[in-house]
Amino acid sequence: MKVLVTGAGGQLGRAVLATAPASVELTPQSRADLDVGDERAVESAIACSSPDVVINAAAYTAVDKAESEAEAAHRVNAVGPGLLAAACRRRGARLIHVSTDFVFDGRSTRPYRPEDPTGPLGVYGATKLEGERRVLRELPEVGTIIRTAWLYDAAGRNFVTTMLRLMSERQMVRVVSDQFGTPTSTDGLAEAIWRTVERGVTGVHHWTDAGSASWYDFAVAICRTGQSMGILRSEVRVEPILTEEYPTPAKRPAFSVLDKTATWTALGVAGVHWQDALDATIRSLAHEATAP
Ligand SMILES: NC(=O)c1ccc[n+]([C@@H]2O[C@H](COP(=O)([O-])OP(=O)(O)OC[C@H]3O[C@@H](n4cnc5c(N)ncnc54)[C@H](OP(=O)(O)O)[C@@H]3O)[C@@H](O)[C@H]2O)c1
């Protein structure tokens, strides 16, 4: 099976490449290889490699910056997926497109199901939602949308690596305690994507690790795990604050836990608890730090 991966240099793109089954013939396309907002480049990349499946891990992910760069975010998050989907339709390829919990408004009192009404609060979420719509318009039968949340790996610029850096520089960090979601490792998501490919799962799906947390809970877990694995000093403290004490250009959903029940059934696998996935990531960082 031939699989083209866009955004191959990003956090998720790297994990998708690293977890690919041996039988897959990969065409990794980083941003420098393929700009998903460029119609001719998309058409020619898909014509040249004639993939059976395209995995779109490319995105404009700077949530706050998107508020002042709406056009740039729209080009990558909405136009790009539409172009990829149209090219896939013409060539008979499947498309697996990755989206976000930020398509929801955060007012739900239970985890969001794939079919729940959307209502993005900011430009990033709105452009990602438009991307989903364009994919499903072009590929109503064979398009797959996987919404995920709070992604991190051991190397990218994300909450885990940022917290570990701040906690090694400061005595105390203050973190928002009234926004809830689910921390998600790129490794688990990448494996779920490969299962989606293997099983031919289509439609709108949700994938995160299991459980839920506030950003504050997540930071405390990073701190404790980092300390127990010897990569953080013992005197760092984490203090909870409210969203209103930490104003940002983009409004974020207060609650964006995703209901994965249908997806776990379709894929025949459930996500691990987020704390276990975090332990594995911090263990790999601790191992790197002590490697000769
Ligand atoms: N990160 C999260 O917390 C989170 C949460 C929910 C959903 N998601 C979704 O998960 C997916 C993967 O996110 P991620 O965390 O892996 O993001 P990431 O690390 O920012 O990776 C995105 C990649 O897309 C590339 N890119 C940007 N513009 C492009 C363009 N015009 N053409 C081709 N590639 C382009 C970026 O290149 P440059 O680095 O050179 O810009 C980067 O390599 C995205 O769909 C994102 O919306 C992420």
224 CB-contact burial (10 Å; exposed 0-12 / middle 13-18 / buried 19+)? middle
CA of 235 to the centre of ligand 1 (A): 34
**Residue 237 alpha carbon to ligand 1 centre in Å:** 31
Cα 165 to Cα 60, 157, 160, 224, distances in angstroms:
24, 11, 9, 14
pLDDT digits (tens, 9 = 90+) for 83-106: 999 999 999 999 999 999 999 999
Give the model's confidence band at 71: pLDDT under 50 very low, under 70 low, under 90 confident, else very high.
very high
Amino acid found at 244:
E
pLDDT tens digits, residue range 106-119? 999 999 999 999 99
- Is the C-alpha dihedral spanning 257, 137, 190, 63 positive or negative? negative
For the segment 36-40, the average pLDDT, to the nearest whole number, is 98
Give distance in angstroms: CA of 171 to centre of ligand 1: 31
Closest CA to 287 of 245, 229, 232, 236: 229
pLDDT digit string (tens) for 203-221?
999 999 999 999 999 999 9
Using one digit for the tens of pLDDT, what is the confidence trace for 136-149? 999 999 999 999 99
> Residue 129 has which token pair?
């939602």
Q: How far apart are CA 98 and CA 210, in angstroms?
A: 18
pLDDT, tens digit, for every residue of 257-289? 999 999 999 999 999 999 999 999 999 988 887
For tokens 């990003």, the residue is 10
Mean of the per-residue pLDDT values of the chain: 96
Residue 124 among the catalytic residues: yes
Write down the catalytic residue from 60, 124, 152, 216. Answer: 124
Give the end-to-end CA distance of the chain in Å, rounded to a whole number: 39
pLDDT at 28: 98
Q: Is the CB of 5 under 6 A from ligand 1?
A: no
Ligand 1 centroid, distance to 290 Cα (angstroms): 30
pLDDT band at 290 (very low <50, low <70, confident <90, very high): confident
Task: Tell me how many degrees the CA angle 95-100-104 measures, rounded to the nearest 5.
Answer: 125
Distance CA 156, CA 202 (A): 29
Indicate left, alpha or beta for 15 from its phi (over 0: left) and psi (-120 to 50: alpha): alpha
- Residues 174-202: pLDDT tens digits? 999 999 999 999 999 999 999 999 999 99
Say yes or no: CB of residue 196 within 6 Å of ligand 1: no
- Please, where are the H alpha helices in the chain? 11-18, 39-49, 70-74, 80-91, 123-138, 159-169, 186-199, 215-228, 261-267, 274-290
Each residue's pLDDT tens digit, 221-250:
999 999 999 898 778 999 999 999 999 999
d(CA 104, CA 100): 9
Give residues with Cβ within 8 angstroms of 161, minimum separation 6.
Answer: 152, 154, 155
Residue 220 confidence (pLDDT): 97
CA 83 to each of CA 14, 48, 108, 126, 268: distance values in angstroms, whole numbers, following the listed order: 22, 16, 32, 18, 31
Q: Could you tell me if the CB of 100 is within 6 A of ligand 1?
A: yes
Q: Is 132 in the pocket of ligand 1 (CB under 6 A)?
A: no
Is pLDDT of 62 > 80? yes
- What is the DSSP code (8-state) at residue 246? S
The structural domains of the chain, ordered by start, are: 2-152+183-209+257-272 (3.40.50.720)
In whole angstroms, give the CA distance from residue 133 to residue 156.
28
- For atom 42 of ligand 1, the residue with the nearest CA is 10
Q: Ligand 1 pocket check: which of 12, 158, 215, 218 to mutate, most ligand atoms within 8 Å of Cβ? A: 12
- Sequence-separated (6 or more) residues with CB below 8 Å from residue 65: 249
pLDDT value at position 269? Answer: 94
Query: Rounded to an integer, what distance in angstroms lies between the CA atom of residue 248 and that of residue 124?
Result: 13
Q: Is 39 in the pocket of ligand 1 (CB under 6 A)?
A: no
The one-letter code for the residue type at 168 is S
| pLDDT confidence band for 127 (50 / 70 / 90) | very high
- Whether 60 lines ligand 1, by a CB cut-off of 6 Å, is yes
Tokens of residue 292, six digits? 């000769």
**Residue length of the chain:** 292
